Amino acid sequence: MCPASVLFKWKDEIEKWDAGKSSYILEHSSTPIPDVNYLIMSYSIMTRKVTELLELGWDCIIYDECHKLKSSSSQRSRAAKNLNSKYLLALSGTPVLNRPIEFFNVLNLINPGYFGSWWSYVHRYCGAKETYWGLDTKGASNLDELALRISPHMIRRLKRDVLKELPDLVRTKIPVIVNGMEINTAYRNLFVYLKSHGHSGDSAGDALVKLNVLRQAIGRAKIPLVVQLAQDLLDEDADKKIVIYAVYKATVTSIEQSLKQYGVTTITGDVPTAERQTRQMAFQNRHMPRVMIISSAGGEGIDLYRADTIIFAEREWGPAPEEQAEARCHRIGQKDSVEAMYLVAKSTVDEDIDNLIESKRAILGQLLVQSDIKLSIIDNIFENIMRRKRG
């Protein structure tokens, strides 16, 4: 079971490493389940076919990107809980995206009952507390103990442990100066909002929406700088290929138009799975296109090691999706060191987002936990915004 974006990647790897066995991608819920050694399907197909899957005996079930099963109330998680096999593997480079509560469902799939009931788990490891709105399970507590209990059930392998000959990955922060009426207007609107609504309590969700508007405006302002950097790199070496990461579709489209003379292809959420594979192969095996632009949809299951440079035009709220994107270039097959270039707009919320990401990255060592965009962090960002406004 895996995200739809990596179905063909699984089939390719099976054919590469176990060529004598049969494999089949089940793409439609109306298709009967064939008699094959390897059956590959998306989580959505699994949810629809769970009754039929229950009737068959499985030696092993693999849940790829198992963090997709973090919610115990989702249909896919309930379906996964009903399936059984002799062996079960839950795979993920980022098994916990935000909070320990997101780990419970996967841990309970691997070893039901070992970590106690949901109630005991959240009180022991999620700092659960009663609030006016009900039980708050967004915290973290006793993480050293939880890490110790998890260790017999988890194998963690870093690239440096298993890919001894893989070249280095270097992250480069490039400070840039941006301005413009759109940014000034976005800042002004956010400042007015904060003055009238405050920046705590129930307004946090609305305030985060305002922050995203500002983040998008800054991203658009950085487009000419991203394009200029890409042109310099591509003109310097006629054989060079680069990957560009962007969050918003409008940013992808604008960069694509600006670099079209170099040959550009994209992998975003609106590109069908089979077409993503075609575009990836073209980028990997032909001289043109020389530029691949991806969003988070291109952060999983594709190889882009023909490029040794990835430019981040826009930032995410945490390190996980950015590291996934870096890994498209920094993987088996890469012969050169990879440079991940982050454009950070000086004296803007871009700097705060960069600091937030680095603080989350620092927490990973404790339990692979990346702390959520907590209200206190939002407060700090808002205080910086208001201080810059006063200055």
Tell me what pLDDT residue 369 has. Answer: 41
Count CA within 13 A, CB hemisphere, residue 19: 1
pLDDT grade, residue 344 (50/70/90)? Answer: very high
CB-CB contact of 186 with 309 (8 Å): no
Strand-pair category, 338-345 with 38-41: unpaired
Average pLDDT over residues 203-229: 83
Interatomic CA distance for residues 114 and 124, integer angstroms: 14
> Which of the residue ranges 92-101, 210-219, 334-343, 370-379 would you say has the lowest mean pLDDT?
370-379
CA nearest to 367, candidates 160, 170, 126? 126
Average pLDDT over residues 261-268: 96
**Sign of the dihedral through C-alpha 35, 40, 44, 47:** positive
CA nearest to 191, candidates 211, 212, 217, 219? 211
Q: What is the pLDDT of residues 116-148, one digit of tens each?
A: 899 999 999 999 999 888 899 988 888 888 888
pLDDT grade, residue 370 (50/70/90)? Answer: very low
* 3 state SS of 201: helix
Tell me what pLDDT residue 154 has. Answer: 86
Q: Do domains 4-158 and 161-390 have the same CATH topology?
A: yes
Average pLDDT over residues 316-335: 88
Average pLDDT over residues 27-36: 93
Q: What is the pLDDT of residues 229-253, one digit of tens each?
A: 999 999 989 999 999 999 999 999 9
CB-CB contact of 222 with 313 (8 Å): yes
Tell me what pLDDT residue 277 has. Answer: 87
Residue-averaged pLDDT of the chain: 85
Domain positions in the chain are 4-158, 161-390
Greatest mean pLDDT among 78-82, 153-157, 297-301 lies in: 78-82
Tell me what pLDDT residue 87 has. Answer: 93
Share of the chain above pLDDT 90, in %: 45
State the fold for domain 4-158. Answer: Rossmann fold (3.40.50)
197, two tokens? 């609504």
* Residue 30 scores a pLDDT above 80: yes
pLDDT grade, residue 299 (50/70/90)? Answer: low
* Residue 213 scores a pLDDT above 50: yes
* Residue 286 scores a pLDDT above 80: yes
Tell me what pLDDT residue 162 has. Answer: 66
The superfamily CATH assigns to domain 161-390 is P-loop containing nucleotide triphosphate hydrolases (3.40.50.300)
Tell me what pLDDT residue 317 has. Answer: 84
Q: Of 208 and 132, which is predicted with more confidence?
A: 132
Strand partners, 136: 129
* Residue 371 scores a pLDDT above 50: no
* Residue 26 scores a pLDDT above 80: yes
* Residue 199 scores a pLDDT above 60: no
Average pLDDT over residues 189-216: 68
Tell me what pLDDT residue 372 has. Answer: 44
CA nearest to 104, candidates 131, 81, 79? 81
